[in-house]
Each structure stands twice: as structure tokens, then as C-alpha cells.
Amino acid sequence: MATADNPAERTGQSVLQALPASVNLVIVGGGVMGLWAAVKADRIGIRTLLVDAGRIGSGASGGLLGALMPHTPDRWTDKKQFQFDALVSLEAEIAGIEAATGLSTGYRRSGRLIPLPKPHLREIALRHAADAGDHWQADGRDFEWSVVDNASDACGLDPEFTAGGLIHETLSGRVSPRLLTAALARCLSLSRHVRVIEEMGVAEIDPSRGRIRFVNDESTSFGHCIASAGHQSFPLLQRFAPGTGVALGRPVKGQAALLDAPGVDPAQPVLFLNGLYVVPHDDGRVAVGSTSEEEFDDPRATDGKLDDVLMRARALVPALRDAAVVERWAGLRPKAVGREPMVGPHPDHSRLVALTGGFKVSFGLAHKLADAALAAVEGREASVPPSFTFTSHLEVAATKRAVAED
């Protein structure tokens, strides 16, 4: 498999190659969003340049967790339907990537367990089971949300956390973030239409002229530009939000850890409890996380907040109590001002397309959001919930400014 410290080996393209004078599409950012957009642009024959200020998959997409989880099935909305459709379709998308590259992504539709620590939570969970019966259906498949009792021993959980039983749902899954980004990068190394250049920071995007200027003062002309650089997209897009006075998004720090736990069955469902994720992977290791820190000093440092996450995970799963920590990770995830993914064209600059703001759900939605971004590139309507659009986020920012001024 390609290594994480050799960008040319991962992408098959040299960081020293010259920039093209012009392309149909520039994608800024080689995380999971930008990689999916580039792979799909290649499939439809769009001449594309993918640039990243660092190395492919080295930001938040190079994390550890890879949990693919839906919203609860109650109070159904277009947002929940979009996420459901994305999680269902991801299985076939990943199968295609693995077949094309011969690489494993660590994907498994493993399901999810949600412990119910208090008895009163059981009735709420049972109501959600009926909601899942109404909404969790696709392609002749029914995904279940059920409440089970006396399953702590079978699932390896401390019974202290299951006084109300356990929710078991079959829609969730997991993927290895690093293996998936490596497989997507490998697809691009085989592509006919996409060039990848790493360690190429962007200074300015000018959609009116169709020009992008890089930090080395070189530039390239484009037909469209997709900003998919995670939290680094927000400063690039901010100049196209005149008068809002409110940032279009911000980075949120997350911390996670990887434990060596050969005694944990990799086929076990993902565990989720009050913001704690426990994600078994195929290599006998278990990822646990994560924090959501809006205030922080060092974006890459791990500290006592991660120690607390580890303590909670070990209390929940006794098999992890003596598991050695093999990696501690911290990184910055993009949280858009509207709290939803931000995708689609700018209302006044149609050449400029956003594809960012996934926060904790990027790996489950990125392939489908990439479709929406490319629809905008091709002049078609981006099929996403209204709250996901670039326009909606601009409106949220303007509203926040108005409230602040009052």
C-alpha cells in the first residue's frame, strides 16, 4: 500500500511538476471531499487540477475514527433523507474504488450499538424503532433500529451502561480514513483527466477572471473552482461574503486515539454513547474519540481531554482496559456557520463552488456532496437540502451579523 510520507508514491504524481496554464476545473484541497470530487470529475472527463497546501489526506481526513453513522430516524427531514441515501449508496461506491485499485478501504457495514444507561431512555428508543420502520428503507432493503435486553455480556459492555437495554441498528458502518484516502489517491494516479500537485498553497481565487493564484505567485486559469480544503476553505471564501461580518466557518479541534485490541472482534458494531465513539477496525485495533473543541491553543497537541475520552472508553468496554495506546491524534475539522455541510455555487459567482463544512460526517457524505458540487460545475442544479447550499450559509452569516448589531 502507498505510504503516508511519500506524496509521489501515494498519488503517482510529482510535487515538482509544472502547473498547467489552464484547466476546466481546479479543486483546492485533497481531503476526502476533494478526493471524491476529483475521482468523479475524472469519470465524467473533466480536465482537472487538484492542489493541496500539504499532502493528500493529511488534515482531518487523516484521522482515526471513520464512523459512518446516521441521524436518529425520528422527525424526518430532507437532511436526514440525504444522509440516509448517502450511507446506503456508499457501500457500492467503495466497492467500485476497491475493485479499481485492489486496495482495501477498511469498509464494513457493521451496524451500531447505543447503550441506554437509564431505564426511561428505553421508551424513547422504542419510538425511534417505529420511525426507522417508516424511513430506513432503500433498494428493497430494510435497515433496523431495535431495542435489545441483557446483551451486555455478548457485546462486551459493562452492564452499568445498559440499565435500559441497548439500541442495535444496522445502517451504520465504518471505514479506515487513511485507507480510503489512499485508495482514492490511487484512483487519481490511474486517471486520464486529473493532475495532482501537493504542497501547493493557494493565495487567492478570482472567479470573475477565472484565475487562481498560488503562494509561489504562479497562477492557473480555470472554468470552475471547487473549494474543498476543509477549514482552510473558509478564509478563501470569506472575501465573497461581503457585508456579513461573520466568519463562514471555523475549525473545531478533535482528539482521538488508536488502541491495540486484538481481543475485540473487528466485526463488532460501532459503539456510540454521549459523544463517545468506539470503532473496531480490521487490523485488530480500535479507534476511540472524539473531542469537539472550539477553543484550543495547539491544534495538533493531545492532552487531558483525550485522556478523559480513553477513560470513558475503557469503562464502557472492559476489553479495552489493558489495551495499549499506539497512537494519539489531533486535528482540525471544518464547521460551517450554518452547522451543515456547505456545498454548491456562490449565488453571485457561479464559477466558485463550495465543498466543505462536513465536520464529523464528511466520510459518510463526501461522495454524494461531490456529485452535487460537480452538478454545479456542469451547470446543473445541485441536489442537496436547502440548508446545505452556499447561499443558505451566506444568509445564516448575514442573520448572525444582524442579530449581533441589534
**Average pLDDT rounded to a whole number, residues 153-164:** 83
On whether residue 318 sits in a domain, the answer given is yes
The Cα-based distances of 165 to 69, 313, 316 in angstroms read 20, 18, 14
In a domain, 75, yes or no: no
Closest CA to 90 of 107, 102, 113, 73: 107
Q: Cell match 482531518: residue?
A: 60
- Which amino acid, one-letter code, is at 166? L
Backbone angles phi, psi at 389, to 5 degrees: -70, 155
- What average pLDDT score do residues 66-80 get? 96
Clarify whether residues 401 and 260 are in a common domain: no
pLDDT at 157 over 60: yes
CA 191, CA 27: separation in Å to the nearest integer? 15
Largest pairwise CA distance in the chain: 65
CA nearest to 109, candidates 147, 136, 77: 136
Q: Do 266 and 241 belong to one domain?
A: no
The DSSP annotation for 368-390 comes to HHHHHHHHHHTTSPP-S-GGGBH
> To the nearest whole number, what is the mean pLDDT of the chain?
92
Report CA 165 to chain centroid distance, whole Å: 30
Is residue 187 very low, low, confident or very high in pLDDT (cuts 50, 70, 90)?
Answer: very high
Q: Are residues 370 and 239 in the same domain?
A: yes
Q: Mark whether 163 and 260 lie in a shared domain.
A: yes
Question: What are the helix and strand counts (H, E) for the chain?
Answer: 10, 20
Q: Over the stretch 82-92, which tens digit does the pLDDT of each residue have?
A: 999 999 999 99
Q: How confident is the model at residue 379 (pLDDT cuts 50, 70, 90)?
A: very high
On whether both 220 and 255 belong to a single domain, the answer is no
CA atoms of 102 and 116, how far apart (whole Å): 40
pLDDT value of residue 154: 56
Residue 381 in any domain: the answer is yes
Asked if residue 2 belongs to a domain, the reply is no
Does the pLDDT of residue 11 top 50, yes or no?
no
Is a pLDDT exceeding 80 seen at residue 19?
yes
Q: Are residues 103 and 166 in the same domain?
A: yes
Do 26 and 151 fall into the same domain?
no
CATH number of the domain enclosing 388: 3.50.50.60
- The three-class DSSP label of residue 250 is strand
pLDDT higher than threshold 50 for residue 108: yes
Q: Is residue 72 situated within a structural domain?
A: no
Residue 135 and residue 164 in one domain? yes
Q: Which of 277, 312, 336 is the last residue of a domain?
A: 336
Distance CA 213, CA 204 (A): 5
User: Which of 196, 253, 259, 204 has its CA nearest to residue 230?
Assistant: 253
In angstroms, the CA 381 to CA 373 distance is 9
Residues 258, 66: Cα–Cα separation, whole Å: 12
Give me the CATH number covering residue 327: 3.30.9.10
Pair (182, 51) in one structural domain: yes
Confidence of residue 16 (pLDDT cuts 50, 70, 90): very low
- Distance, in Å, from the CA atom of 200 to the CA atom of 303, rounded to the nearest integer, reads 31
Rounded mean pLDDT, 190-205 = 96
Give domain status of residue 78, yes or no: no
Report residue 150's pLDDT band, with 50, 70 and 90 as the boundaries.
low
Q: What is the residue range of 365's domain? A: 7-62+178-249+337-405
Distance between CA atoms of residues 274 and 209, nearest Å: 48
C-alpha cell at 279: 470503532
| Mean pLDDT along residues 377-404 | 91
pLDDT of residue 382: 83
Domain boundary residue, one of 280, 313, 336: 336
Residues 316 and 264 grouped into a single domain? yes
- Domain termination residue (choose one: 315, 336, 357): 336
Q: Return left, alpha or beta for 384; rule: phi > 0 is left, psi -120 to 50 is alpha, else beta.
A: beta
Q: Cell 459503539, residue? A: 271
312 lies in the same domain as 209: no
pLDDT at 197 over 50: yes
**Domain annotation covers residue 287:** yes
Label residue 18 by pLDDT band (50, 70, 90).
Answer: confident
* Amino acid identity for residue 74 in this structure: D
Q: Please give the helix or strand (H or E) that residue 8 lies within, else none.
A: helix 7-11
Please check whether residue 277 is in contact with residue 288, taking contact to mean a CB–CB distance below 8 angstroms: yes
What percent of the chain is predicted at pLDDT more than 90?
86
pLDDT digits (tens, 9 = 90+) for 272-321: 999 999 999 999 999 999 999 999 999 999 999 999 999 999 999 999 99
Domain assignment of residue 350, yes or no: yes
> DSSP assignment, residue 318?
G
The verdict on 266 and 283 lying in the same domain is yes
Mean pLDDT of 93-109: 98
- pLDDT at position 5: 40
How many structural domains compose the chain? 2
The mean per-residue pLDDT over the stretch 322-336 comes to: 97
Phi and psi at residue 327, in whole multiples of 5°?
-160, 140
